[in-house]
Amino acid sequence: MRFTCMKWSTLPVAVLVASGVAMAQDQSSSGSQQPAPAPAAAPAPETKPKPTVAQRKENQQDRIANGVQSEQLTAGETANLEKKEAAINKETAADRAANGGKLTAAEKKQVNRQQNQMSKQIYADKHNANTAHYGNNKVGQRRENQQDRIAQGIKSGQLTAGETAKLENQQKGINKQVAADRKANGGALTTSEKKQINKEQNGASKNIYHKKHNAKTQPQAQPKP
């Protein structure tokens, strides 16, 4: 009889514990049914500032220099590109001189339009069938060395577009002469022809050095603060 009373006296406690567990489970299940919070909106990507006129010019020169060094641009193509680039630079300088060192909005648009055309021309010349072939010989190596020196001068800003155009026209003339001499001799050059070409390249080498070390330089674009 005493045992029976103790058994029934523990029943309310067990019921309360079971009820608490059930309530906790109900709260947990009801909480899991609530919709998840919406993810935070991703931050909008920063818009890159448009390149300045000077930055655009420097970018074009870097592309030309890379094309010269990779042999995608021939001396003739480079001379033509740099002649056009020199004309744009001359026009820009004249506009600045007429406006106290600044360009008007209309002038900036005009320069940008011209540089867009230049950009397309650079791409077309770098991806056409014309490439510079120098050959694995002393004459070819000398020509390649001159082109590498010109490319380095373009990248460093030591050579202006106008100077580069003149240097590449000189190389174009030498290349044309080499091709004509080879064609006349079954693909080879005579000893006297090699001497003549080497003499012309010596003159071109001095010309490259002079233009890279004179007072004229291609202004480098300054990054925006």
- Per-residue pLDDT of 169-185, as tens digits, reads 999 999 999 999 999 99
Q: How many CA atoms lie within 13 A of 56 on its CB side?
A: 20
- Please tell me the predicted confidence (pLDDT) of residue 15: 45
* Rama region for 224: left / alpha / beta (φ>0; ψ in -120 to 50; rest): beta
Rounded CA separation 223/58 (Å): 12
Which one, of 161, 166, 180, 15, lies nearest residue 93 by Cα? 161
Question: What's the mean pLDDT when you consider all of the chain?
Answer: 85
Residue 118 phi, psi dihedral angles, 5° rounding: -65, -40
Given the structure tokens 């406690």, which residue do they identify?
13
Stronger pLDDT, 28 or 219, i.e. the higher one: 219
Stronger pLDDT, 97 or 34, i.e. the higher one: 97
3-state class (DSSP) for residue 171: helix
Q: What percent of the chain has pLDDT over 70?
A: 76
Vertex 118 angle, CA 115 and 124, to 5°: 150
Give residue 81's identity as a one-letter amino acid code: L
Question: Could you tell me how many residues make up the chain?
Answer: 225
- Per-residue pLDDT of 53-107, as tens digits, reads 999 999 999 999 999 999 999 999 999 999 999 999 999 999 999 999 999 999 9
Q: What percent of the chain has pLDDT over 90?
A: 71
Inform me whether the pLDDT recorded for 6 exceeds 50: no
pTM over 0.85: no
How many Å from the N-terminal Cα to the C-terminal Cα in the chain?
94
- Please tell me the predicted confidence (pLDDT) of residue 3: 47
